[in-house]
Amino acid sequence: MTGNQSSAGHLLRLVRSGQATTRGELQRATGLSRSTVGHRLDQLFRAGWIRDGATVPVGGPAGGRPSNRLEFDGSHAVVLAVDVETRHGLAAALDLNGRVLAEHTGALNIEDGPENVIDRVTRWFPPLLERAGAAPEDVCGIGVSVPGPVEWESGQVVQPPIMPGWDRYPIPERMRRAYLRHTGADGEGPVVLVENDANLMAYAEQRTGWRDCGAFLLVKVSTGIGAGLVVDGEMYRGIDGGAGDIGHIRLHDRPDALCMCGSYGCLAAVASGRALAARLTGSGIPAASGTGVRELLAAGQPDAVRLARDAGRRVGEVLVTVVTVLNPGVLMIAGDLAGAPFVTGVRELLYQRAMPRSTAHLTVVTSRLGERAGLVGAGAMVVEHLYAPERADARLAAMGL
C-alpha cells in the first residue's frame, strides 16, 4: 500500500470497519513500518478520533505481549439528524456510532414550504443538544431525510411530487444558516447532507440488520411510495438521484387515477397511504393521511384491512419487475402501511408472478428500526462522508495534524 493508501484516513477506515484493530494488524494490512503506523495513529489520537480499547493477547495460541485494540471514538462529536415527513418531523442528536442521545417529534406540514419547515426543525436543535449534553460546537454535521428525489451533489430536491415549493431549493445552505441563527454557534456551521428518505432507511436497515446482504431493497409506503436500494454497502442513487421512484410507474388499468405529480395512473395514486385515506374518507371512514390509515389498520378496521391488502397486491405487481431486474436478497416493506394485510398482498402477487429463480433466495421482511430508520440512516450518511479516507485526511491537515 503506497501513497494516499497509507494515510491516516485509510488507517482509520481499517479500524472503523474492523479489518485491522491493533497496531500489528495495521502493519500487516498496509505493509507500513511500525514507526509509520505509529505516526499515523498519533494523528488520529490527537484529533480525538480513536482510542485504546480492550487489551488483547498477540503472538499466537501461546500468547504473547498484549496489545491494545483500537476503537473509533464515537463520542468526540455529535451528529444532528432530521427526518422530514409530510405531516410531522423527527429530529435526533446521535453520537458517531449511531447511538441516539436525544430525540424529538413535532408537527409540521411539508406543504408550508422549505423556509417554514427548516425554521421549525432547526428550532428543535438547541433543546436537543442540551438534553444530549452537547454544545453547538460539538456538531460535526447535519443529515436530512426528505420524501423526494435528491440530487446528491447539490443536496437539492428535484421535481418532488409531494413537496410543493421545494424544487431546487438550497436546503444545505439555508439549514446551515438557520442552525447558526438558532444555536448561536460560531464559524461557518456544520456540513449539511440531504438524501431521499427511502434511501436512508434502506441504508440504516441494511447496516443494522442485513450487513451481509449485497443487494438490499426497501419499499416505503406512506403518503407516497418510494424505494431505496443498497448495493455492496452503498446507496444506489442512479445518475441523478432518481433511482427507486417506483410510485410513479404507470398502471395500465387505472388511467382515471390522478397523481400528485400531475399524471394519471401512477402506482402512488392507487396504492399509497394518501390514496387509501381518500378512499376511506369517501366511504364515510375519516382518514386524513397515511398515518390515519395506519391507525385504522392497528384497530382492525375491516375496510382499511381490505384496501391495504389490495394496495399490497398493486405494489406487488410492480415489484415483480423490480425484483426480477435487481435480484435482491432482502425486500423490506416499511412505512405507514407496512402491516400484515399489505405485506400479504405483496407476497401474493410477487410469488405468483415472478419467476421462481428471482425469488428463490429472497427474504421479505418488515422494518426493524421503525420510525427511527431515517434518522439512523441520516446520521450514518454524515459520518461516512466526514470520515471517508480522503476527507478525513483533509480535515486532519486543516487541524494542523
Q: Does the structure show a pLDDT above 80 at 11?
A: yes
Q: Does the structure show a pLDDT above 90 at 372?
A: yes
Average pLDDT of the segment spanning 287-314: 94
d(Cα 387, Cα 183) in Å, to the nearest integer?
Answer: 24
Are residues 307 and 230 located together in one domain of the fold?
yes
Are residues 128 and 262 located together in one domain of the fold?
no
Quote the number of domains for the chain: 3
d(Cα 116, Cα 13) in Å, to the nearest integer?
Answer: 39
Give per-residue pLDDT as tens, 179-213: 999 999 988 999 999 999 999 999 999 999 999 99
Question: Is 204 within a domain?
Answer: no
Strands 78-84 and 139-146, bridge-based pairing: parallel
Radius of gyration from C-alpha coordinates of the chain: 23
Question: Is 249 within a domain?
Answer: yes
Helices (H) and strands (E) in the chain, counts: 15, 14
Question: Is 203 within a domain?
Answer: no
Average pLDDT of the segment spanning 223-232: 95
Cell of 4: 494516499
Which SS3 state, helix, strand or coil, does residue 327 take? coil
Q: Residue 363: CB partners within 8 Å, gap ≥ 6?
A: 329, 330, 331
Asked whether the whole model's pTM tops 0.75, one would answer: yes
Residue 112 Cα distances to 50, 144, 165, 298, 344, angstroms: 43, 17, 8, 29, 36
Give per-residue pLDDT as tens, 100-117: 999 999 999 999 999 999
Instruction: Share the mean pLDDT of the chain.
Output: 93
d(Cα 172, Cα 154) in Å, to the nearest integer?
Answer: 8
Percent of the chain with pLDDT over 70: 96
Are residues 10 and 110 located together in one domain of the fold?
no
Q: Does the structure show a pLDDT above 70 at 3?
A: no
Are residues 177 and 126 located together in one domain of the fold?
yes
Burial 55-84 (b: 16+ CB within 10 A, else e): eeeeeeeeeeeebebbebbbeebbbbbbbb
DSSP string, 252-288: TT-TT-B-TTS-BSBHHHHHSHHHHHHHHHHTT----
Cell of 141: 454535521
Question: Is 110 within a domain?
Answer: yes
Give per-residue pLDDT as tens, 53-79: 877 665 544 455 677 899 999 999 999
Q: Output the furthest CA–CA distance in the chain (Å, rounded).
A: 76
Question: Is 144 within a domain?
Answer: yes
pLDDT at 68: 85
Are residues 295 and 158 located together in one domain of the fold?
no
pLDDT at 1: 42
Are residues 322 and 222 located together in one domain of the fold?
yes
Give per-residue pLDDT as tens, 117-156: 999 999 999 999 999 999 999 999 999 999 999 999 999 9
Q: Single out the residue of 207, 142, 218, 202 nearest to residue 178, CA to CA.
A: 142
Angle in degrees, 0-180, between the axes of helices 23-30 and 34-47, rounded to the nearest 10: 120
- Residue 36 sits in a domain of what CATH number? 1.10.10.10
Q: Single out the residue of 124, 141, 136 nearest to residue 184, CA to CA.
A: 136
Which SS3 state, helix, strand or coil, does residue 94 take? strand
pLDDT at 65: 62
Are residues 216 and 348 located together in one domain of the fold?
yes
Are residues 191 and 226 located together in one domain of the fold?
no
- Residue 343 sits in a domain of what CATH number? 3.30.420.40
Give per-residue pLDDT as tens, 330-367: 999 999 999 999 999 999 999 999 999 999 999 999 99
Are residues 302 and 324 located together in one domain of the fold?
yes
pLDDT band at 6 (very low <50, low <70, confident <90, very high): confident
Give per-residue pLDDT as tens, 183-192: 999 889 999 9
Question: Is 230 within a domain?
Answer: yes
Question: Is 273 within a domain?
Answer: yes
Answer with the one of 41, 72, 103 that is the final residue of a domain. 72
Residue 237 belongs to domain spanning: 209-369
Answer with the one of 72, 102, 132 that is the final residue of a domain. 72
Give, rounded to a whole angstrom, the gap between the first and last alpha carbons of the chain: 21
Are residues 53 and 31 located together in one domain of the fold?
yes
Are residues 249 and 312 located together in one domain of the fold?
yes
Question: Is 355 within a domain?
Answer: yes
Are residues 170 and 301 located together in one domain of the fold?
no
